[in-house]
Amino acid sequence: MKKFQIPEYYKSPIIGKVKTKRKLEDPRKKDFSPTVLNFGNVEFIISRHFGFCYGVENAIEKSYKAIQENPDKKIYLLSQMIHNPEVNEDLESQGVEFIQDTEGNQLIPWDQIHAEDIVIIPAFGTTLETQSTLENKGVNVAKYNTTCPFVEKVWNRSAKLGVNDHTIVIHGKYKHEETKATFSHSKEEAPSIIVKDMQETKFLANYIKGNISTKSFLDFFEGKLSVNFDPEKHLTKIGVVNQTTMLATETQAIADYLNKTMREKFGDQDIKNHFADTRDTLCYATNDNQSATLELLNQKADLAIVVGGYNSSNTSHLVELLEPKFNTYFIKNKDEIKDSNTIHAFDIHTKELKEHRKFLPNKEHIRIIITSGASCPDSAVDKVIQSVLMLKKAPITIDQIEI
């Protein structure tokens, strides 16, 4: 796999050594068991897979290259490069400005963007409408387009389904930049609909089975359907794709549920003419990170810490997997650890930052699970580990630890 040039301050000596050793021992990624580092009175159980993925490293390399190659030009990012505050803040500190926020709200008017300006397309990709706006201004959108190749793979899958007259069912978060981009591309090839979760999928299935009126269907999915979507015509032949950072088990459950629904409606013998048996379109990093996180559930630990941006979809799903078993704290960086007694962690259910007291157990030896999302620098995980070691006055230092 290609090696990318990313700034050194995103890297971590300790995490780098752990990942290098695991890669040498398990080059085919068959072993999802974690690495355990024992610092005497604190053990860190480190997930087999976490941190920057191929698409993120590609985006970061191209973004910093744009800064280096264009010192005298205005440089814009269409929206956040990735869902990580440290990366985005660093880009802003170097003069990069965001045209839109993550909700798609305009921060800089289009009339301020000119042909000679540099516009970086983020890893999530963008909509055809936005791309057209930039191209009509004469902006070279191809030069610094950092769209993840795994996102483009979903677009290609959607196009193939459209050629075969399938309607595209997209499992994704409607307001997420990637889902917006995928929807924009898929609706050009085929009728398209977005479902957020199993609840929305069941509503869709109930319509297919004739239990819901067309008006109720159109009202329920308003804003999540392609133009001129006709449910009576367009829900007889479907295929499922997804936002690449969704929970794998949920996507599979949605596909299985819709497969079962179509079998009930049209019969088993004719199912190939009504349901495309597509494998889920999650990227490899999402699959690996989630599989490694599931392996963490076999461990005994006092707590779990997940590091990453609070608006990161793939990171929130790691929290979702861990929190049923462990006291799980979702933090953006070490600054959320206030002292040995207090941590501020993000609640994925209420979308609020909450204070937790006595998060570190008062015992001689504690075991902490730690992982991060695909958009989180290894250096951020390293600093969290060091913060906890300092608070616990661990007898073994990072320099002394055996890997």
Known catalytic residues are 178
Q: Rounded to an integer, what distance in angstroms lies between the CA atom of residue 171 and that of residue 38?
A: 40
Q: Rounded to an integer, what distance in angstroms lies between the CA atom of residue 257 and that of residue 259?
A: 5
CB-based contacts of 335, cutoff 8 Å, min separation 6? none
Q: Rounded to an integer, what distance in angstroms lies between the CA atom of residue 283 and that of residue 148?
A: 9
Nearest to 273 by CA among 193, 170, 157, 164: 164
Q: Are 2 and 55 in contact (CB under 8 A)?
A: no
DSSP classification of residue 208: H
Q: How far is CA 241 from CA 1, 23, 41, 282, in A?
A: 25, 30, 46, 9
Nearest to 305 by CA among 53, 42, 88: 42
Helices (runs of H) and strands (runs of E) counted in the chain: 13, 15
Q: Are 125 and 97 in contact (CB under 8 A)?
A: no
Q: Rg of the Cα trace of the chain?
A: 23
β-pair type (303-307, 328-331): parallel
- CA 218 and chain centroid, separation: 29
Strand partners, 193: 169, 225
Q: With the C-alpha atoms ordered 204, 207, 212, 213, is the resulting torsion angle positive or negative?
A: positive
Q: In what order do the strands lie in the sheet with 97-98?
A: 97-98, 75-77, 118-120
Q: Rounded to an integer, what distance in angstroms lies between the CA atom of residue 78 and that of residue 110?
A: 11
With left for phi above 0 and alpha for psi between -120 and 50, is residue 142 left, alpha or beta?
alpha
Amino acid of residue 391: L
Strand partners, 119: 76
Nearest to 238 by CA among 208, 268, 212, 282: 208
Element (H, E) at 188: helix 177-189
